[in-house]
């Protein structure tokens, strides 16, 4: 999980630089591409290998990277797209809590 944290830290810096250079719309497409790459690596790691190796480290790093990309994208939407700054974050946190609770029950 150390690589998950490293991916999160690197993602924060890289995502800020990328958004400044290419803009938020293209950055959202890049985030979608990163999520697709992470999904492919995860599926390949789970199906192809049954051992813990370098692909597991790469999977954790990219998973942390895409997780932070998604959080930054969501926070940007909540912060810039709405006039009131407290309501969108409140609704997001409420919905996130309900969904996590529902998945934990299942």
pLDDT in tens, 69-94: 888 888 887 777 778 878 888 888 89
Report the candidate in 87, 79, 73, 5 with the shortest Cα–Cα distance to residue 34: 73
Domain, as residue range, for 18? 2-105
Residue 71 backbone dihedrals phi, psi, to 5 degrees: -65, -45
Closest to 23 (Cα-Cα) out of 71, 65, 63, 76: 76
Number of independent structural domains in the chain = 1
In the 3-class helix/strand/coil scheme, how is 66-98 assigned residue by residue?
HHHHHHHHHHHHHHHCCCCCHHHHHHHHHHHHH
What pTM did the predictor assign?
0.72
User: Mind listing the pLDDT tens digit for each residue in 3-61?
Assistant: 889 988 998 888 888 888 988 788 888 888 888 888 887 888 777 776 777 878 888 88
Residue 91 has φ and ψ, to the nearest 5°, of -65, -45
* Nearest Cα to Cα of residue 62 among 2, 98, 8: 8
């Amino acid at each position: 999980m150390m690589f998950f944290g490293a991916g999160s830290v690197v993602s924060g810096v890289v995502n800020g630089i990328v958004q400044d250079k290419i803009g938020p719309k293209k950055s959202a497409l890049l985030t979608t591409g990163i999520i697709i790459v992470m999904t492919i690596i995860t599926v390949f790691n789970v199906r192809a290998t049954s051992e813990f190796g370098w692909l597991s480290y790469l999977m954790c790093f990219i998973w942390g990277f895409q997780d932070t990309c998604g959080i930054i994208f969501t926070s940007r939407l909540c912060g810039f797209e709405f006039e009131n700054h407290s309501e969108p974050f409140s609704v997001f946190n409420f919905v996130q809590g309900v969904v996590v609770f529902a998945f934990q029950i299942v």
